[in-house]
Amino acid sequence: MLPEESEELIQRLQNTSNFRVLRKLPCPREYNRSNRAETKIAVYLDLETTGLNFRNAEIIEIGLVPFRYSSDGKIFEVLEAYNGLQQPKAGSIPEETTRITGITNEMVRDQSIDTDKVSKIVSAASLIIAHNANFDRKFAETEFEIFSSKAWACSMSQIPWREEGLEGAKLEYLAMKHGFFYDAHRATTDCYAGLELLSRHLPKSNRPTFGVLLDEARKNTKRIWAERAPFDLKDVLKERGYRWNDGNDGRPKAWYIDVIDSEFKDEISFLSKEIYMREVDLPVTTITAMERFSSRV
């Protein structure tokens, strides 16, 4: 079937309101034209690992897709990608990991990630993006020191998907709602899927998705450590969005929350009135894109 015939058939199906057609993920080399004078380079990153804990699990695959962008969130040229497999040093790949990713012990046998290639790509970047940067950054920094010196953004948590009428933020779900499909859970393919999402506009507000992400990533946040909060009020803190840190990582043993600067005074007021019942002076950490999602904060 010729392309124009396919398009005609797709349009006819969609016009009935009984069908929605998913297209295969496009991987364009360019989204918009640029003179390069005002562009920077970002890298979309994805990792596949043997487990969820960066302290004892290992990276078995890395995908890096660098691209040029402007400060207002317009995406231009997509540069040469890198994909590398790596044999874990300790033991074999868990069966569950193989089931999810399709990566087998045979595929990674005697394979190693090209650290020089990774460093070359990342060193040119102003920004690293991942879909769940809270996971990927910790693994990336453990394996490759260069990631520690870069600003990071998260296309899962720093874009208001729910406010835009979407019920979840998983990459496959977002792709489907944006009208395309792809072979998920392989590093580079996931990067191209994430980049495609960033090139679109948000469904309700029609704002450019990457522009929204950049604006959010530029905001400073403050992490408030609710040290010595009354134990019997822990459920109140949890319901408000506080998370527990056990202190084993050198950070305070306390409940904590991250808030943007404009919300800081209100949060301290809440803690004073509802948790401590007095004025409090609590430890506060200022977090920028340079530290956000790292195990160092």
Span 235-282, pLDDT tens digits: 999 999 999 999 988 889 999 999 999 999 999 999 999 999 999 999
What pLDDT score was predicted for residue 16?
Answer: 78
Q: Is the pLDDT of residue 58 over 60?
A: yes
The answer to whether position 173 is within a domain reads yes
Q: Is the pLDDT of residue 292 over 80?
A: yes
What does the pLDDT average to over 55-78? 96
**Same-domain pairing of 212 and 225:** no
Q: What distance in Å separates the CA atoms of residue 68 and residue 219, rounded to the nearest whole number?
A: 22
**Same-domain pairing of 36 and 147:** yes
Of 218, 251, 267, which residue is a domain's last? 218
Of 218, 234, 258, which residue is a domain's last? 218
Q: Beta-strand (E) ranges in 227-272?
A: 243-245, 254-260
Of 196, 218, 240, which residue is a domain's last? 218
Write the CB contacts of 164 (distance below 8 Å, at least 6 apart in sequence). Answer: 202, 203, 204, 205
- The domain tally of the chain equals 2
DSSP assigned state of 205: T
Q: What percent of the chain has pLDDT over 90?
A: 84
Exposed/middle/buried for 281, CB within 10 Å: 0-12, 13-18, 19+? exposed
**Same-domain pairing of 118 and 200:** yes
Q: What count of residues does the chain have?
A: 297
Domain span at 254: 221-287
What pLDDT score was predicted for residue 1?
Answer: 55
Q: What distance in Å separates the CA atoms of residue 113 and residue 253, rounded to the nearest whole number?
A: 36
**Same-domain pairing of 162 and 241:** no
What does the pLDDT average to over 137-141? 98
Residue given tokens 């409090």 in the structure block: 280
The pTM of this model reads: 0.90
Long-range contacts of 28-32 (CB under 8 A, 24+ apart): 28/78, 29/77, 29/78, 30/76, 30/77, 30/78, 31/74, 31/75, 31/76, 31/78, 31/199, 32/74, 32/75, 32/76
Q: Is the pLDDT of residue 129 over 80?
A: yes
Span 149-176, pLDDT tens digits: 999 999 999 999 999 999 999 999 999 9
**Same-domain pairing of 262 and 180:** no
**Same-domain pairing of 107 and 191:** yes
The answer to whether position 1 is within a domain reads no
**Same-domain pairing of 196 and 275:** no
The model's confidence at residue 23, banded by pLDDT at 50, 70 and 90, is confident
Q: Is the pLDDT of residue 35 over 80?
A: no
Contact indicator for 107, 83 with CB cutoff of 8 Å: no
What does the pLDDT average to over 65-81? 96
Amino acid at 152: W
Query: If you compute the radius of gyration of the chain from its CA atoms, what whole number of angstroms results?
Result: 22
What pLDDT score was predicted for residue 3?
Answer: 62
Between the two ends of the chain, the Cα-to-Cα distance in Å is: 55
The answer to whether position 271 is within a domain reads yes
Q: Mean pLDDT over all residues of the chain?
A: 94
What pLDDT score was predicted for residue 246?
Answer: 93
**Same-domain pairing of 177 and 203:** yes
**Same-domain pairing of 110 and 257:** no
What pLDDT score was predicted for residue 84?
Answer: 98
Higher pLDDT, 208 or 12: 208
The answer to whether position 49 is within a domain reads yes
What pLDDT score was predicted for residue 211?
Answer: 98
